[in-house]
Amino acid sequence: MLRVRHEVDGSPELLRTEEAPVPEAGAGELLVRVQAIGVTLPTVRRLRDSREPLPLGGEIAGRVVATGPGATGFATGDRVTGLCFTDAYAEYAVLPVAMASRVPDDATAVEAVALVRSGLVARGAHEAARVGPGESVLVTAAASGVGTLALQYAGAGGAGRVVAAVGNGAKAGFVRSLGADEVVLYRDLDRSGPYDAILDGVGGDLLPSAVRALATGGRLVAYGSGGGTVEAYELLLRGASVTGFQIRAIATGRPDLYARWRDDLWRRRAAGTLRAAVHAELPLTAAAHAHAVIEQRRNLGKVVLVP
Ligand SMILES: NC(=O)c1ccc[n+]([C@@H]2O[C@H](COP(=O)([O-])OP(=O)(O)OC[C@H]3O[C@@H](n4cnc5c(N)ncnc54)[C@H](OP(=O)(O)O)[C@@H]3O)[C@@H](O)[C@H]2O)c1
Domain boundaries, the chain: 2-103+277-305, 118-247
43 lines ligand 1 (CB under 6 A): no
The pLDDT value recorded for residue 41 is 95
The pLDDT value recorded for residue 12 is 67
Between CA 59 and CA 40 the distance in angstroms is 9
The pLDDT value recorded for residue 193 is 86
Ligand 1 atom at minimum distance from 303 CA: 19
Confidence (pTM)? 0.96
Q: How far is the CA of 144 from the centre of ligand 1 (A)?
A: 6
CATH 2.60.40.10 fits 118-247, yes or no: no
For ligand 1, pick from 199, 205, 297 the residue to mutate: most ligand atoms within 8 Å of CB: 297
Nearest to 265 by CA among 126, 130, 68: 126
Please give the average pLDDT of every successive group of 10 residues along the chain, which has 307 residues: 90 86 97 98 91 93 98 97 95 96 97 97 96 96 98 92 97 97 96 96 96 98 94 97 94 92 96 96 96 96 98
141 lines ligand 1 (CB under 6 A): yes
The pLDDT value recorded for residue 266 is 97
The pLDDT value recorded for residue 14 is 87
CATH 3.40.50.620 fits 2-103+277-305, yes or no: no
